[in-house]
Amino acid sequence: MPAAAMPAATRLFLAGNAVAMTGNGLVLAFTLIYLHQARGIALPVVGLLLAAGAAAGLLAVTVSGVLLDWLGARRVLTGIILGQAAAQVLLAWAHNAATALPALLLYGATWAPMFPAISTVIARLAPDPATQQRVFAINFTAQNAALANERAAVSILLRRISSSVLLLKSLGGGWDRGQLPQAAAGAHSAATAGDK
């Protein structure tokens, strides 16, 4: 016997969640790289910042069940999505560990409760047990595939970096990073001396 078609609202929710998880997978993968390379925060400090976000998520998920019962899954999920958007804006303005910490705490506090909220919405969108099992299976498959983009993106980035380093070595060189500011200062002083 063929399975009953899923309602349009359920299909739309699953598609939107798959797109959102793809974005989340890419953001999570590059947060460490962004904080370390673009913002100059030391890797051990970045690790502590990310761990603090995870701890905030553990605390927030304990309260999320109560909020889901009191406010409803749709309101809680809307608040979570708005909180994640605010966290990303704060992260874009972060320039050091002190300014990155609130962004990562907010992101962690909204990341962990997202999964129970999504599950509650799915349970309400598909009340029939047979359809509900199908919807949960499709959702978990889509989430796993989307979050796997994180690993693929980091793997591609590492291969590109390794290839660039190998290319420089094969061309016979590279440079000492410590000499770059001195060389730039020497070139600047030579250029200003020539103007006199």
With a CB cutoff of 8 Å and minimum separation 6, the contacts of 76 are 64, 67, 68, 113, 117
CB atoms closer than 10 angstroms to residue 183: 11
Indicate whether 85 pLDDT > 50: yes
> At 150, is the pLDDT very low, low, confident or very high (cuts 50, 70, 90)?
low
Mean pLDDT for the stretch of residues 123-134: 86
Query: Phi first, then psi: what are they for 94, rounded to 5°?
Result: -75, 135
Could you read off the pLDDT of 102-127 as tens digits, one per residue? 999 999 999 899 999 999 999 888 88
Q: Given this model, what pLDDT does residue 167 score?
A: 67
On whether the pTM is more than 0.85, the answer is: no
* Location of structure tokens 């498959």: 141
Percent of the chain topping pLDDT 90: 39
**Better pLDDT: 46 or 1:** 46
Tokens for 126? 């598909």
